[in-house]
């Protein structure tokens, strides 16, 4: 994939995640630059629904903007430190989906309870080590490194009172994971009101993840979400 094609796909990811209620005025999604694995692509500081191709900027892992002079997101640091620590990660979304927030404040574990929430079967750790001087924003290198260490080899990391970080091997995986993690959390919460949920077993979820993250399933879902944006 060329950088120019990745930029177009990243803009569409911003639109999809906004349409599906994952990103709102705040939050952000990025991609590793396919033509330079030591860079990542991320919009300037703008509400995701409004992001255009001209807003996308190249960054290095220290969060320095390499090609434009627009105001960057303060939390670009978390993206850079994760990409630096995880060569397998090709895309990242930080969002504040409402269904996830009660889990971040109570420490209640999110577990796959429905088929489409399967991809988080390895668990989702909780980050609670903020630099209070930064207003709970991940915007300095030391805290970005702590975020990367807390995420470790998982697909997501909850941030206490702040939201979640979702990572994946492609932008399609991150979009699917972000949407279905939020839906799974909503269903889990509702199930807990009725009784004791029966969660997916490790093997059920592992096998289901292979299906959900297959090229066919990812494209089918991506095409559906794209159609809903009217783009």
- The SS3 assignment for 19 reads helix
Ordered domains of the chain (ranges, CATH): 3-229 (3.40.225.10)
For 120-154, the pLDDT digits (tens) are 999 999 999 998 888 888 989 999 999 999 999 99
Q: What percent of the chain has pLDDT over 70?
A: 100
CA distance 9 to 14: 9
Q: What does the pLDDT average to over 155-168?
A: 97
CB 41 within 8 A of CB 12: no
In the prediction, which pLDDT does 20 show? 97
**What's the half-sphere exposure (Cβ side, CA atoms, 13 Å) at 149?**
8
What mean pLDDT comes out for the span 196-221? 98
In this prediction, residue 169 carries a pLDDT of 98
Active site residue 75: yes
| Active-site hit among 20, 24, 39, 75 | 75
Confidence of residue 30 (pLDDT cuts 50, 70, 90): very high
């Amino acid at each position: 994939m060329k950088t120019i094609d990745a930029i177009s796909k990243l803009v569409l990811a911003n639109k999809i995640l906004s349409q599906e209620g994952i990103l709102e005025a705040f939050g952000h999604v990025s991609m590793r630059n396919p033509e330079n694995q030591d860079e990542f692509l991320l919009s300037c500081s703008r509400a995701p629904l409004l992001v255009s191709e001209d807003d996308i900027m190249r960054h290095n892992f220290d969060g320095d903007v390499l090609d434009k002079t627009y105001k960057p997101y303060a939390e670009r640091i978390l993206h850079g430190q994760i990409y630096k620590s995880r060569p397998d990660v090709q895309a990242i979304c930080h969002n504040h989906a409402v269904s996830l927030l009660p889990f971040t404040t109570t420490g209640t574990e999110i577990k796959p309870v429905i088929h489409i929430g399967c991809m988080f079967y390895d668990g989702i750790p909780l980050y609670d080590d903020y630099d209070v001087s930064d207003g709970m924003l991940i915007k300095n290198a030391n805290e970005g490194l702590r975020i990367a260490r807390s995420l470790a080899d998982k697909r997501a990391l909850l941030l206490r009172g702040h939201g979640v970080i979702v990572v994946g091997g492609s932008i399609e995986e991150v979009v699917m994971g972000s949407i279905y993690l939020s839906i799974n959390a909503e269903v889990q919460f509702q199930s807990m009101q009725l009784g004791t949920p029966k969660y997916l077993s490790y093997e059920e979820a592992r096998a289901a993840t292979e299906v959900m993250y297959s090229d066919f399933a990812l494209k089918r879902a991506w095409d559906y979400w794209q159609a809903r944006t009217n783009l």
